Every structure is written in C-alpha cells, then in structure tokens.
Amino acid sequence: MKLKLAHIILILVAALALGFAGGYTGVQMAASNQDEPNETESPVEDEENAEVEISNESPQHMSKVVQAFNIIQENYLEEVEDQQLIEGAIQGMLATLEDPYSTYMDVEMMKEFDEQIESSFEGIGAEVSMVNGNVTIVAPIKDSPAETAGLRPNDQILEVDGESLEGLDLNEAVAKIRGEKGSEVIITIMRPGASEAFDIPIIRDTIPVDTVYSEMKTVDGKETGIIEITNFSENTSAEFAEQLQQLEDDGMEGLVIDVRGNPGGLLNSVEEILGLFVPKDIPYVQIEDRDGNKSPYHSNLDKKKDYPINVIVNEGSASASEILAVAMKEAGYDVIGTTSFGKGTVQQAVPLGDGSTVKLTFFKWLSPEGNWIHEEGVEPTVETEQPDYFYTNPVQLDDGETLGYDQSDNKIENIQKMLDGLGYNLERTDGYFDKSTEDAVSKFQQENDLTDTGEVDQETASMIEYQVVETIREGKDDLQLEKALEVLY
C-alpha cells in the first residue's frame, strides 16, 4: 500500500468540536490539489481513500465467528439486527488491540467527521481521547463554549447529564454528549489534583473556524511577532503564511509560535508550515512502518530565517502540534512551556464499502533525529509553568453550605489561590480560612455586587471561578508567553 503523505490527516482525538458528533483519532485521506512539497516517496497515494490490499481468504477459525453469529441470531431472547452484530464484532476485534487510536466509525460518524474537516460544525468545542480507560480532554478550542466554561487539558469526563461513561468506548461517549446548538449538557469532571468530581454546565454553540491568530509586540525595542495556531485545518497553512508575511513586511525581528491547546489536524498543513522554517538538510518528520522501515521527509528550504524563533507548548499540544514542536526543537529552536500530550502514531482510515470505516494504526511518526515521543510528549528546552491559579478547580458547595473563618478545607485552598491570582491580598493559601481570607472574600463580594458576608457560598464561589476563567482567557499573567519573549533574543 502506498499513501501520499501530504494527504494524511492527523486527528488526535474524537471531536467534541462536533458536539461529540464524530471525528476520530488518526489518519484519513483528504482530497487536496496541493503539490507535494518534497520528492521523497511516501506511504500515501494521491487518492481520496487509501486502497489496502485485503485477502479474500477466510481466516482459520472464522467458522467459529459465524457459528456465534447464528446462535445469537436464532436463539437470543429478543430480535437482533444483523448490522448490530456485525458492527459489534468489528468493534470487538479492534478492542482486543488495546489501542485507543484504532476504532470503527459507522456511516453517521463518518458523515459528521467529514463536516469537521470542512470546519463547519457545532458543539462544545473541545477534543478528547481515551486515556487509561477514561474519556479525557486533550484541549478546549479557542473561544469555544468548552473554553468559556473552564474545561482544561487532562480533565476526565465521568458523567454526561448524570449518566456514567464507565464501560463505554470513545465513540459511545461521543454520542452521549452529541447535541444541537443552544442545548445544554452537564458534564461531570474529575480534574487532576481535585479531591472530588464537579459538574460543568455547557451550552453548545457554533465552533469558531479561525485557526491562526497573530499580533506584533515590542520587546526590548524589537518588533516581535506572535502567531497562535489553534488547529491544523484545511486553510491553516495558507492563513499562517499570509500572516507571517504581513508580520515580516511590518518589520518583525523575532517570532513566537504558540501551539498550546492545539490538538492536531491535517499533516499537510503542519508540513507546509515547517517548510517555512526547517531547511532541507534535515527531515521535518520520519514515518516508520511495521517492519521498521523509515521514510524521512524534507522541505525545499535552503536556509533558516534570519530572525530568532521559538515555540510554546503545553499538555494540550498534541499530534500535529508535536510534529511542529519537536521538529523546531531538533532544528535548534527553543521550546517553552510544559511537556506536550504524547501521540506518536499514525492511523489510516480504510473504507468498508458502505460508508463506514475502520481506522487502524499503520505507522509511527518520528522526530527529525528519529525519536519517538509517543506517551512521552515533547519536553521543552525551557520548562515554564503557569501561575498556581491557572490550575485551580471549581468549588461546588451543597445547598446552604458556606466556607468561613477558622475552617480548613481543600475547597478553601482553591478559593485562596483564585483570589490571590485575581490580585487580592492573602497571608496564606494553604486551606485555612484566616482573617486575611475573610477580608479578601468580603472585598470581592463588595466589588461584585454580592451580599457582603465574608463567607464563601455557591454564588460567591461561582463568581470567583468565572473571573479566573476570564482572566486566563484574556492572557493575563501568561508566564509561558512572557518567558518565550524573554529568551527569544
């Protein structure tokens, strides 16, 4: 089988951006008229769907499967549709691989996935993967309902509208959260570091389709461009090239590329962007097949840019984002932030003839130097955490419950860290509700038209959390970006 590299889609995760309608972890053929940027033979043909040679011979012991099918069909207490059993058998075979990225997509899911690739979808605006059996947020999409509601990378989704996701595969979990624009879904989250799960209500909406944002800042007298990529979709590389050119025309002297919270996307999109920065003397990625054969891919670039560049990543940077980050790192550029998600396999979608698809892991992708970052992530050259309040958890209180003076609780610690991040003066943030905490709560209540009690009730806790989310979304106290700008020159 030959597949054309420029037409692979690296979608890391099931797409909550579709309202959990579909999307999938892996690779599929994408129709494109773009030219291949390098001459190296790649494992992908220029076709809309990959053609895989499949033997027509029945595997040994297949009669056992047929026998089980007939036993169920003829004897089960209730009537069972053939299609239900067939799809269940396919899902069962894939489940035995214990590979969260190899899955079955039925006709409906494929239709909705195609909508995502076209960047026309509705939902909550986040992306998920199955991690250790748990449906886990990889990243919320910029300016989406999920981001507004405060979902974060590594949040585990336990329940949807009060129904547990335990025992469901990723596609079944996706179906639970599916819904129309304007409808509400309540997601129960367990967040790393939290002592208990909490509910987050989200109103589904149209998901922003813009994937590239840029601005110019003056840093130590130097004009510095910042380009944020939120996803690698069909138009991302063209948008990136256009905005990069504009920054260069405006006298840019250094560049920061921000792929934090970017869950991946089209491989040809990230390779076209890397073609602007990684010279042809080193590959920007290598693909390894099941036999260990490696195929390197090179750009046509003669030399690097004449200005400094670095990249920012975090735990929500995955798949295509990691291809960019590690390629830039091994080309000699700094990577700032925290270790990325860690997804280093390549999947191919194989059509089954009726509109459904088996998506199967075919390859590894390796860094320019041949390193495999799967389940490890890309480690930054300059590790930088965000402020403590970026990692706080929502506080949920029972009816009539309050937090007040002389109490000690993890919830109080969260409140203290959030108030400290919002600029209120506290003498301690260890979970003990002291006098300074009471004063800070009282001041916050006065400034936000809440009843001034000096105690935290659910209304006060929710308002504190809302202001923290807004502060983070506005880019205040962004220590990772500050560090990237600091070390750029």
Which residues are tagged catalytic? 319, 343, 347
470: which 2 tokens?
A: 């807004």
Q: Give the three-state DSSP class for 141.
A: coil
Q: How far apart are CA 476 and CA 314, in angstroms?
A: 17
CB contact set of 323 (below 8 Å; sequence gap of 6+): 10, 267, 270, 271, 274, 284, 285, 365
CB contact set of 401 (below 8 Å; sequence gap of 6+): 457, 458
> CB-side exposure of 262: number of CA atoms within 13 Å?
31
β-sheet bridge partners, residue 203: 184
Residues 125, 207 contacting (CB under 8 angstroms): yes
The number of helices, as runs of H, and strands, as runs of E, in the chain is 12, 22
Residues 100, 134 contacting (CB under 8 angstroms): no
Of the candidates 400, 402, 403, 399, the residue with the CA atom closest to the CA atom of residue 416: 403
83: which 2 tokens?
A: 């299609």
Q: Give the three-state DSSP class for 118.
A: coil
In order, the DSSP letters of 459-472 are HHHHHHHHHHHHHH
457: which 2 tokens?
A: 């009730």
**In this structure, which amino acid lies at residue 420?**
D
Neighbouring CB atoms inside 10 A of 407's CB total 15
Residues 321, 378 contacting (CB under 8 angstroms): no
